[in-house]
Structure 1
Amino acid sequence: MTEYQPNPNDVRIAVRLRTYPNTATEAETVSAIDRSVFDRVRTHEQSLVAEAQAARAEAKIDEDAAAEIASALRREVLYELDRPKVDLEALASRYKELRSEGEKAIRALEKAEADEAYRQPKLAAPYEDLVALWDKWKIVRPTI
């Protein structure tokens, strides 16, 4: 059976429950363990933030594309219907193209929204998220 490192959160609890010869040793030990764990939490939080920023930048591109498609629908289809002579077949074909592109943009925005909803609790509580990862993936637990 493979032996894994203990969950660092459990290590933090264990050092607090131990008895020490004096308060200075206790404070030093607890501080060292906390510093080690929270260094990892900060790194995890930074990666979550970077991932969220990259996803947001990508979603902004999708938002801009959706706005451009909506504008093109108005310009190239709706306003064209006000002209006296209109090629309805060409207009219908262009409408279908723009509608298809609009549906793709909507799906991309819905995916971005779902991804953001998934990421939000992780960003709100990076410590708990990292502890959950350590519980789920024992092999990635750091040595403390």
Structure 2
Amino acid sequence: YDAYYLKALKVRRLIREDYDHAFAQVDLIAGPVTPTAAFPLGAKVHDPLAMYLFDLYTVGTNLAGIPGISVPCGFTRDGLPIGLHLQAPAFEESRLLAAAHQFQQATDWHTRRPALEQLHAGGPAAGDAMQG
């Protein structure tokens, strides 16, 4: 197990170095929370791998030990929520929270809620959109 642990530490260090390099050029990194929009409630509970892969875009933040925050930023045509993931350099939580706050001041996505039937599998047909 020592070899696996040492390899994991090396990978973690490389991930952190990549983030450090990026933050030498930008103040924050913004991207999607997940590779796709939210899936309906209960759709993947029996598929742990699919659920893990759904979190893939936020894992690097945790491995690098940097702060990240996810905020609502819209809805799909089917009314399922979409999230924006913001990341900041280590110990720059105040910068991160300020950016998230400014985003929420400029938009109203954080005040909107999808209808419950849109969150469950078998919700509305494609093309039915929450109006923005």
Q: By the TM > 0.5 criterion, same fold?
A: no
Larger radius of gyration: 1
Structure of greater relative contact order (alpha carbons < 8 Å, 6+ residues apart):
1
Instruction: Sort the TM-score into its range (normalised by shorter chain).
Output: under 0.3
Higher strand share: 2
Which structure has the highest helix share of the two?
Answer: 1
TM-score, normalising length: structure 1 = 0.24
